[in-house]
Chains A and B, each alone.
Chain A
């Protein structure tokens, strides 16, 4: 035992040293993004890098003033909010139906959405939308983003609804309450926390989505992830502006994620649909 006690401090040093290493590793790109967004192009080019420098806000003012960036923010927000809301309207009753009637095969088909490569959906929808003149319209983009939000909401809410004691609903039914009334008046209100975290994550997935937006958006509906790619098309990349744009896109998502951290792993492992 004595030998062990002597080893302990060294062991602790190693343990916390490694932990600190991981911490730096995972945080560094964010720090670098933030630092570079406050640097001039000359400062960014300077090697070895300056860790202490006079920050400039010019990158941010340039990004926000030029290039219709405000519009891209509004578009991204409208599309994410719209597809989350529509996903809730379709997904909540469906999840409840699946949970109450134990329709697990239906739950499974929703999981298939996770396995199918996203472009498989895009080819037919791109054809259809372009024939109907709907490419670059909000309804088309929101519909495509619902491919992400709706299955996700269903998948997150099924276990949540299954956790509601059946007695609660039976009691309401005995009191003469219809099933649909019980759903609206009893089930939904007590599912608040689940609905909120599910919605926030669905919002984040839509906000982050690049593939669907890259094909279905245009001048009028361009979202932030598509817009940021245009920075690369200049012969010399404006790194400061690019990093400022990256900060503006990711910060809202990071804040939302920290607010719902407890549920994120559960949510991500449940039904997250990626391109």
Chain B
């Protein structure tokens, strides 16, 4: 048997490992190793200095964050506030839009295509557009309020208004995706229960509440989980529009982690924050998944 034959036999016997080896190596080097390394850095105090090495300080970074850092807890709260408000808006509006799109009309496909644009457009560039629209004196939003006889708002310029303003941008970006996922769920439903409800003379609202919604629950669950993962980690829009300000009013965990690491170069503290952040995201995914199953059974 020639060398070529033998080697291709070997490849074939270990096929799945040969095919996956390069990607696996990449995952180990670029993903697994950095996570472990960040875990190690989180146990040290280090400020990226070449002269002074990292010193091992145990769990001190975690204690500092959890017990002494007011800014950390505020950022945890803001992360939840941002995610909760955004998901609420996106689920309600997305549901409405999905039900509306679950019907044929001329131009429906074009409309669905156009609805994709907010979620694929470069977030930083979109952030700039919203920055102009939110501008208190020359922005379109305050012009709109004036037309509606509502007093002008400071939007991003005020501590109270900045986070809700960012939530609005997130809702604009991601409601269409929510709607399109839910629409896919609606389309795949059997029409029998709807026909039965119609025969029984149910009103539109009754059909929606007692037939559509219960049947759509698994799809809603998955959509909410997927959106939560991304919403918790929202970075681009916030960084582009407020950099966490004014006065830290929009500093979520991701922003605080970035500032700690690449603003103040406190790599140890930043790493411990990221470990906690990762645990929070993972915990929420597991919780939502558990809740979703609970609802189903």
Task: Give the interface of A toward B (CB within 8 A).
Answer: 15-16, 18-19, 22-23, 25-27, 29-30, 32-33, 36, 44-45, 47-49, 89-91, 93-94, 96-98, 100-101, 103, 106, 109-110, 112-127, 130, 143, 146-147, 150, 154, 178-180, 183, 204, 207-208, 210-211, 214-215, 224-225, 228-229, 231-232, 239, 242-243, 245-246, 249-250, 253-254, 256-258, 261, 264-265, 268-269, 272, 274-275
Contacts and interface: CB of A to CB of B under 8 A. Distances in A.
Interface stretch (B65-73, B80-88, B110-118): B110-118
Given A124-B41, A180-B12, 12 more contacts: A22-B97, A29-B118, A36-B132, A98-B16, A100-B19, A115-B285, A122-B34, A178-B11, A180-B18, A208-B124, A265-B181, A269-B226
Contacts of B223: 269
A94 B118 CA distance: 31
Contacts of A32: 129, 132-133, 140
Contacts of B121: 30, 208, 250, 253-254
A147 B122 contact: no
Interface residues of B, number: 87
Given A33-B129, A97-B16, A210-B235, A124 B281 contact: no
Contacts of A231: 128
Contacts of B11: 178-180
Contacts of B22: 89-90, 93-94
Contacts of B258: 119, 211
B244 interface: no
A69 to B, nearest CB: 13
Contacts of A146: 26, 30
B31 A121 contact: yes
A250 B24 contact: no
A112 to B, nearest CB: 8
Interface in B210-254: 222-223, 226, 229-230, 233-236, 239-240, 253-254
B177 interface: yes
A119 B132 contact: no
Given A47-B138, A275-B233, A261 B113 contact: yes
A118 B103 CA distance: 39
Nearest to B96: A18
A29 B126 contact: yes
A250 B23 contact: no
B274 interface: yes
